[in-house]
Chains A and B, each alone.
Chain A
Amino acid sequence: MPQTRPVTPAWQRFGLAIPYAWLLIFFLAPFLIVLKISLADPIVAQPPFTPLFDAARAPQLYATLENFRFVLADRLYLLTYLNSVKLAAVSTLLCLLIGYPMAYGIALSRPDTRNTLLLLVILPFWTSFLLRVYAWMGILNSHGTLNNLLLWAGLIDRPLEILYTDTAVFLGMAYSYLPFMILPLYANLARLDLDLLDAAADLGARPRRVFLDVTLPLSLPGVIAGCLLVFIPAIGEFVIPALLGGDDTLMIGRVVYDEFFLNRDWPVASTVAVLLLLLLLVPIAIFQRYEAQGEPRA
């Protein structure tokens, strides 16, 4: 049989070109610049790194892997990476544990209340992100709302030290990223065929088994999408650990900031950023692979 290729109309090709152009201009180009800087030596100049290609002096390329060797050898950077992964992972898990029942509840609610519930989920976005983090500082500090409430109720007799600890960071992260977990999970669960749940019950599965055998495995793509949407920005998060975390809360985002603006070591800062991106490619690749496997082979 002759193979026919569908002809894509010009306007459709133009439409497809927009996201590619976007990624090219706002992601790939800046990344290449950062990659270039990570291969340079720091110097005291404007800009503070050696050029990749110096036409004035000698027409030759100059690149070094010294920064990568330096960053990978230093235990501090390694600990920072691990700590970032830990913070992001715990926040993601918290979001999943809180978000799954919420998404499930919304998906099973009556169609007319469903939109209201979804609106409530995204309502916090109408307030500035920074304001919301500052609000958490007000709630969590030793003379804050939470401590006052607990003291008044007589549950504690000395204020809890929550602010400037990892606990505060987890709370802030879980709160801020929760909608990113709920929305993809909801989109997945809303498409769940309720006949499948009835069929499992009919075949002898108790409600808990129905969930474990049918609902959970079928919602896995939604779980993975939600986890990625939370985990990836969480790992590079800068504001929340800076405001709610203690001085010892090491996060990659903070290290990049410090290297850029305090040490003015742009090459090392860029190297840290490039390595972070490589680190993030791992979960994305796993997800892609899972998606490809999930496709039915017709």
Chain B
Amino acid sequence: MTEGTPVRDLPANARWLDPGAAPFVRIEELSKRFGDFVAVDRVDLRIYKGELFSILGASGCGKTTLLRMLAGLERPSGGRIVIDGVDLTEVPAYQRPVNMMFQSYALFPHMTVEQNVAYGLRKEGTPAPEVRERVAEMLNLVRLTPLARSKPAQISGGQSQRVALARALIKRPKVLLLDEPLAALDKKLREHTQFELANVQDRLGVTFIVVTHDQEEAMTLSTRIAVMDEGRFVQIGTPGEIYENPRNRFVADFVGNINLLEGVVEACGGGEALVRCDEVGAKIRVRFEGELAPGARVCVALRPEKILISKEPPPENDRPTVPGVVFDLAYFGNLSLYRVRTAGGKIVEVSAQNRRREARRYLEWDDQVHLSWDKGSALLLTE
């Protein structure tokens, strides 16, 4: 297999931008039907070597079915799966160069930690001394050496997660599949484990495909994210692209907090559009390269942290501005979250960093405020 020449000035694993690079995992027109229900609907995907790729979606969107097809645990109804140039569509699970970490971890309860980790190598017929060596090495990597002789029932959730990871990695799979790897952990452990996962991935260079419903998890872990809904990919991109340039309302709403202001186009041209938003009782200018007929229904998407909240109107008069009244506020120490009722009745969420050290709040309930933002910060969604 020929590797494409790396393009300069790109992060080491940003191969997806290089048109010459050959994808490591290629999914073509992959479908899965259960009776009348279409779980995965003609999905196409290219994943490159060394990526940590996340498939993000709500429960029931087909992401786990897709992962199980990659593992060979579910037979596709149509389409192809090619990994490292080999068509694996008809290859049974036990012969695929792919391993999976299950959401429930699925540790064998009647085997010790050590035996669990060694299982994959034993089935490969690896000679015993090598098995011992590699298991020891792997247990060391996930810092479980002292628990080697314990049974799964005797260890904690975080430790089980690491055993599952070690067991899935020991055969040095070409691709590691992770089904909601952090869902069963509590919040604090999750944050810690998140970085540990990325760390292990970085060190071993294995391609990871992670399925998750947790957008925060996907954002921090991934090189790229595919947002999935009703068996199809809605958008594929880097965390930054997904967050800053969501393609439609679904993605914008699913990833992070966002204000979606419904409106009607009044004029369009010259790189911007004028949108009448009755919901907030204002006309909003949005940067937009494209053609839209006046009267088209659109949506102005605005992240809470992109909005500036102030008592006085902003001095620059080219900033879109919407007046309102503070309806609710929450103080988080580093941040304050405001809910502002606009003239049209729509509540807009604003988050502001508390830059100054002040015990007395600058804004209180029922204060008259002005919300403003850079013209480039808002996004016009037509879908």
| A residues at B contact (CB < 8 Å) | 193, 195-196, 198-206, 209, 213-214, 217-218, 296-298
Contacts and interface: CB of A to CB of B under 8 A. Distances in A.
A297 B150 CA distance: 10
A277 B68 CA distance: 53
A203 B168 CA distance: 7
Interface in B244-260: none
Given A202-B73, A204-B120, A298-B153, 7 more contacts: A201-B73, A201-B93, A202-B98, A204-B171, A205-B94, A296-B154, A298-B154
B7 to A, nearest CB: 35
Q: Bin chain B's interface residue count.
A: 20 to 34
Contacts of B192: none
A193 to B, nearest CB: 7
A84 B281 CA distance: 93
B106 A193 contact: yes
- The residue in A198, A199, A209 that gathers the most chain B C-beta atoms within 10 A of its C-beta is A199
B108 A196 contact: yes
Interface string B65-92: 0001001110000000000000000001
- The residue in B71, B119, B167 that gathers the most chain A C-beta atoms within 10 A of its C-beta is B119
Given A214-B108, A217-B110, A199 B102 contact: yes
Given A203-B120, A206-B94, A198 B73 contact: yes
Contact of B123 (A193, A209, A297): A209
Contacts of A213: 108, 119
17 contacts: A193-B106, A196-B106, A196-B108, A198-B68, A198-B102, A201-B72, A201-B93, A201-B94, A202-B99, A202-B100, A202-B168, A203-B171, A204-B94, A204-B120, A206-B94, A214-B108, A298-B153
Contacts of B109: 196, 218
A196 B104 CA distance: 9
Contacts of A218: 109-110
A195 B171 CA distance: 19
B102 A203 contact: no
B36 interface: no
The 5 closest A-B pairs by CB, nearest first: A204-B123, A296-B153, A203-B120, A195-B106, A199-B106
Contacts of B95: 204
B210 to A, nearest CB: 16
Contacts of B93: 198, 201-202
Nearest to A206: B94
A216 B12 CA distance: 47
A205 B72 CA distance: 13
Contact of A200 (B68, B71, B92, B119): B119
Nearest to B164: A199
A203 B71 contact: no
A71 to B, nearest CB: 42
B173 to A, nearest CB: 9
A199 B99 CA distance: 9
A195 B179 CA distance: 12
Interface in B119-142: 119-120, 123-124
A209 B120 CA distance: 12
B379 to A, nearest CB: 41
B151 interface: yes
A189 to B, nearest CB: 15
Given A201-B94, A296-B151, A195 B104 contact: yes
A298 B155 CA distance: 9
A224 B225 CA distance: 50
A165 to B, nearest CB: 41
A195 B109 CA distance: 12
